[in-house]
């Protein structure tokens, strides 16, 4: 893992953000957390983010809308979407659009680790890609 491999977490649930931050830091990843898509998009960490973990259901801008906005804006950040309300149709659509993983809450640590390894093993976790 590169020292520049910043994982950004975007979720409106503070307890989820805090637990994800602790887990990812314990795995050795640098982490930034954001309570909304707008906060993430306005942050200087956007350019340094090498993997994005975003909640599907957030007010104002959903994780799906965030992913679409990023890809349309030329920011092909490997993205893991998480949701407490899994939907097979949405999952299939998002995976076909390039989302790396679509995980259900509560997250199983092994699934998350497998997704992260997949993102960084493919070399897609370089800054700005």
Mean pLDDT of the chain: 91
> Given a cut of 50, is residue 129 above it in pLDDT?
no
Q: What is the pLDDT of residue 123?
A: 54
| pLDDT digits 0-9 by tens, 3-14 | 568 999 999 999
Euclidean distance between CA atoms 126 and 63, whole angstroms = 21
Task: Read off φ and ψ for residue 30, nearest 5 degrees.
Answer: -70, 140
List domains and CATH numbers for the chain.
Answer: 6-121 (3.40.50.2300)
| pLDDT digits 0-9 by tens, 46-103 | 999 999 999 999 999 999 999 999 999 999 999 999 999 999 999 999 999 999 999 9
The answer to pTM > 0.85 is yes
For 107, the 3-state DSSP assignment is coil
> Given a cut of 80, is residue 2 above it in pLDDT?
no
Q: What is the pLDDT of residue 5?
A: 84
């Amino acid at each position: 893992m590169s020292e520049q491999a910043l994982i950004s977490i975007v979720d409106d649930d503070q307890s989820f953000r805090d637990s994800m931050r602790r887990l990812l830091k314990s795995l050795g990843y640098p982490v930034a957390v954001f309570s909304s898509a707008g906060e993430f998009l306005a942050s200087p960490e956007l350019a340094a983010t090498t993997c994005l973990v975003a909640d599907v259901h957030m007010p104002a801008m959903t994780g799906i809308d965030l992913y679409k906005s990023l890809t349309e804006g030329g920011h092909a950040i490997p993205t893991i979407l998480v949701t407490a309300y899994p939907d097979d149709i949405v999952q299939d659509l998002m995976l076909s659009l390039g989302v790396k993983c679509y995980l259900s809450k509560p997250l199983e640590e092994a699934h998350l680790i497998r997704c992260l390894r997949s993102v960084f093993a493919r070399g897609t976790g370089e800054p700005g890609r």
